[in-house]
Amino acid sequence: MPKIKAVFTDIDNTLTSPTTGLIPKSAVEAIKQARENGIKVFVATGRNLTGDRILPIAGLTFDGYLTVNGQYCYLPDGAVLRFEPFKRKWVEEAIRLGKEHRFFAAYHQRELITVNGLDQNTEKFYQVFQAQIPPFMEEDMLNKDGILSIVPFVSEDMDDLLRNALPELQVVRWNPYSSDLAPKSGGKDIGVKIFCERFGILPEECLAIGDGDNDISMLKYVGVGVAVDGARKETKAAADHIAPEVDDHAVYKTFQKFSII
């Protein structure tokens, strides 16, 4: 196996503890040591890291940010490597489906996240990572040409309906209260590819670690794909290695196992 030169890590329930919502000190130390050893460490998240959404990682230093499932990728100095909004027709169809099937959603723009309503699934979703519910915005006020991600607040039994109605989009899930919509032309693997090209690193020289369906494409793309214990079964099936639970020092032990630290 080639020496690992770069790590891509999910945030929620991978870096952060599912029980406390905080990043274990061992993970903070692992990232610090890895970078001191010359390893590039990148965030790879479905989050849009605006406002309070960056709080879990605010004290950490990374070499780049793969956000909104690869739709928005940038460097610490703000240089943008990828910015790919949804097609307007996808946004309009998602809005129509929400009205027809009575669910709400979050709409992620570059510097703004809004929701178009509030229900039990919405509240529980934001409780998962202890974030405030974003401001309300009517669909008519959305910039439909600047949407980077749509997060419908639906149970898993709605996922097939969304897949059939939005055939150009992936419907991926990392929690019981929502799905993430992402273009089939995108995904975290596309973001990993962009950072590899930017830094002259081969995919087989990378390790990726995550827990959700939106991590599967990058786990398969890199040389070593790691799922934390507690990950969705589909994510574990795509991984080369299963790490311990997050609260059992998953990141630190994984970095040790693969000689990153």
Residue labelled with tokens 């995550």? 210
At 40-91, the pLDDT tens digits run: 999 999 989 987 678 889 989 999 999 999 999 999 999 999 999 999 999 9
Question: What are the residues facing 110 on neighbouring strands?
Answer: none
In CATH, the number for domain 6-84+186-257 is 3.40.50.1000
- Predicted pLDDT of residue 21: 87
Domain ranges of the chain: 6-84+186-257, 88-183
Q: What is the pLDDT of residue 244?
A: 98
CATH number of 88-183: 3.30.1240.10
pLDDT in tens, 96-113: 999 999 999 999 999 899
CB atoms < 10 A from the CB of 39, how many? Answer: 22
Which residues have CB under 8 Å from 54's CB, separation 6+?
none
- 196: amino acid identity, one letter: C
Q: What is the pLDDT of residue 133?
A: 94
* Lookup: tokens for 181: 């919509």
CB 172 within 8 A of CB 213: yes
In the chain, the percentage of residues whose pLDDT exceeds 70 is: 99
* Most trustworthy range by pLDDT among 24-28, 137-141, 182-186: 24-28
Handedness of CA 112, 216, 56, 156 (dihedral sign): positive
Taking residues 209-233, report their average pLDDT. Answer: 96
Q: Is the pLDDT of residue 130 over 80?
A: no
Q: What is the mean pLDDT of the chain?
A: 95
